[in-house]
Each structure stands twice: as C-alpha cells, then as structure tokens.
C-alpha cells in the first residue's frame, strides 16, 4: 500500500485560534495543485484522513475534489499537531489492508511520521513545505517497514499538474 502524507496548504495567520486558521487564496490553489498532481500520478486512495484543524480540513476537501475522491474524509485527532507517531500508527492499523491512504496534517509531525515509517533517525531531509506530499510504500504500518518513494514540494507538484492538463 502507499501512504501519501500531505501537509496542509498555506493558511492565514489571523484567526480567533490556531485551530481556526483558514486557507488563503494561495493555499486553496496549493491544495488544488496537490490534488491535480496526485491525480496525474494515478493516486487512488481508498481512505482519506485529515487533522480536525480548519486548514487541514480545507486542504483535504479541495484535494479530494481534484482527485474525484467521493468517499467520506475522516477526521483523525492523531493528525493534530503534538500527537505521537505511535498513536497515529495505532489509529491507522485497522485500515492498513484497505488500500492506499491519504493523510492531511501538519509539520513537524508528518516528517516524524514518515521518518518512523521508513526507519530514518533524522527528519531534516523529510520536511514538507506547505502543500507538499511524501509517498511511502509499505506492506504494513509499523516502524521501519516502509520505503520512501518520493517527496515533492509545490513547485514539482505544479509541474506535474500543468503537464496533465
């Protein structure tokens, strides 16, 4: 199975709380590009999970629309900032044989999750920019079981999306 780790797109700095920060116009375009690029790469997630924070939810919805993903997007508290990789892996285990999974979350948590899955000690080279995606292939969701297939930032995703038009 493939796990796609998508960092939420650019959000405003002005909101009543961090959890309520919404995407900017630029962020909405980044989310659209992420979805279009995933579609061009023939990604077909069986399940899509998102952090409950507004910017992640909006990123997930826009990406899903571009991917023509018509199933429920599941909110997962384990994708919120500050949650542990172990907690995320426990939450995902029941879904590990359903097909590919798309996870929308935050940094630095996503880099830590990718690093654990591929058995890397450091996360510096796994940092995702806003709207960036990492793809890990694995037989099961456990530490060290996966292989990083690719990691792309917005500029690369934009090129893929534009070529697919």
Tens of pLDDT, residue by residue, the chain (165 residues): 999 999 999 999 999 999 999 999 999 999 999 999 999 999 999 999 999 999 999 999 999 999 999 999 999 999 999 999 999 999 999 999 999 999 999 999 999 999 999 999 999 999 899 999 999 999 999 999 999 999 999 999 999 999 987
The pLDDT value recorded for residue 165 is: 79
Residue 99 is predicted with a pLDDT of 96
CA distance 42 to 35: 11
pLDDT value at position 29? 98
Sheet holding 2-7, edge to edge: 73-75, 47-50, 101-105, 2-7, 133-137, 147-152
User: Among candidates 137, 140, 132, 131, which has minimal Cα distance to 149?
Assistant: 137
Beta strands in 9-130 (DSSP E): 47-50, 73-75, 101-105
State residue 164's pLDDT score. 87
């Amino acid at each position: 199975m493939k796990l796609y780790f998508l960092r939420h797109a650019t959000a405003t700095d002005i909101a009543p709380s961090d959890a309520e920060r919404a995407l900017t116009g630029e962020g909405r375009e980044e989310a659209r590009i992420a979805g279009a690029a995933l579609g061009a790469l023939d990604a077909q997630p069986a399940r899509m999970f998102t952090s409950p924070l507004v910017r992640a939810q909006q990123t997930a919805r826009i990406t899903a629309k571009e991917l023509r993903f018509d199933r429920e997007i599941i909110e997962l508290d384990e994708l919120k900032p500050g949650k542990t990789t172990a907690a995320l892996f426990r939450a995902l285990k029941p879904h590990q044989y359903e097909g590919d999974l798309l996870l929308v979350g935050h940094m630095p948590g996503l880099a830590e999750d990718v690093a654990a899955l591929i058995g890397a000690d450091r996360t510096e080279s796994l940092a995702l920019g806003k709207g960036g995606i990492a793809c890990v292939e694995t037989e099961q969701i456990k530490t060290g079981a996966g292989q990083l297939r690719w990691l792309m930032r917005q500029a690369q995703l934009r090129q893929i999306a534009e070529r697919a038009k």
